Amino acid sequence: MILKGKKVVIMGVRNKWSIAWGAAQSAYEQGAEVICTCSADSEEKVKDLLKEMPGTSVYVCNNVSLDEDIDNCLNEIKKEHGKIDGILHAIAHANTEDLRNDFILTSRDGYAHAQDVSAYSLVAIVRMAREKEMLNEGASIIAYTYFGSEKVVEGYNVMGVAKAALEASIRYLSKDLGKDGYRINGISAGPIKTLSAKGIKDFGSILDIVEERAPLHRNVTIKQVGDSTAFLFSDMSSAITGEIIHVDNGFSVVGV
Ligand SMILES: NC(=O)c1ccc[n+]([C@@H]2O[C@H](COP(=O)([O-])OP(=O)(O)OC[C@H]3O[C@@H](n4cnc5c(N)ncnc54)[C@H](O)[C@@H]3O)[C@@H](O)[C@H]2O)c1
């Protein structure tokens, strides 16, 4: 029970395949009070899922491209729950055509959209949570990223560039948040079949390649990523900040 007495906000639960759902389950198992956020179109589905975790609540944060949506959502959470001990950012989006065409064809709008939703939103959420003084001492922020930020992954395109910005933002935010004793880290998860992943061309072959080449010869589960998330939320990781931890069965360390 490494999260007993902690309140954590899990942003980006869409359905039972969402990696954020694995994080919600792990945090709950470890004794945390879990507060989820989702887009308006997933609210009913998420409410249904949460029936298996009594005491868990859900709030709509419909569009993280709008400061107003983030602001309203955080205000509601603060009003109902007071200060929190952690936030998970599990949110990303790119236009389908930018994941289907060659990267060189990415439009200015498509590039800006992927950056805004998938990277800048982390900065906005963390800043607003700090301004609202809703973070408890020792609070821990986590964001999900992917190996396509480091190396070229066929079809990941503009999302790889957005994840590179997200990872750099985590490092810069660690410096600012450290002044208040808060931590922030990224988890670079191995590929997992989720609704978002379906947008990536030939995603099935990425899973096959991981199984073949990763040192542990298997793909990761949302439970495994969730458990690592619980560790980063917990005081067991109190000296880790500004870090990107790979939870990928070792795939990222393999060269030839
Ligand atoms: N699936 C993978 O292989 C994989 C691997 C590594 C990292 N990730 C990352 O994990 C995170 C969660 O993705 P997932 O794969 O579980 O897919 P998912 O589709 O279940 O979750 C994506 C979430 O982003 C939310 N979202 C998208 N645009 C939004 C917006 N404008 N405003 C508010 N919310 C918005 C969706 O509502 C959804 O809840 C993402 O950051 C993704 O890049 C995924």
pLDDT band per the 50, 70, 90 thresholds, residue 141: very high
CATH number of 7-247: 3.40.50.720
Provide the whole-model pTM: 0.98
Residue 197, classified by CB atoms within 10 Å of its CB into exposed (0-12), middle (13-18) or buried (19+), is: middle
Average pLDDT, the chain: 97
What's the 256 CA to ligand 1 centre distance in angstroms? Answer: 30
Q: How far is it, in rounded angstroms, from Cα 229 to Cα 26?
A: 8
Q: Is residue 201 pLDDT above 90, yes or no?
A: no
**pLDDT mean over 182-201:** 95
Q: Is residue 119 pLDDT above 90, yes or no?
A: yes
What's the 197 CA to ligand 1 centre distance in angstroms? Answer: 8
Q: Can you tell me which atom of ligand 1 is nearest the CA of 20?
A: 16
Question: Is the shortest distance between the CB of 220 and ligand 1 below 6 Å?
Answer: no
Q: How far is it, in rounded angstroms, from Cα 242 to Cα 227?
A: 19
Q: Is residue 199 pLDDT above 90, yes or no?
A: no
Just list the catalytic residues. Answer: 146, 156
Question: Is the shortest distance between the CB of 189 and ligand 1 below 6 Å?
Answer: yes
pLDDT at 210: 97
The pLDDT tens digits for 8-21 are 999 999 999 999 99
Q: Can you tell me which atom of ligand 1 is nearest the CA of 145?
A: 7
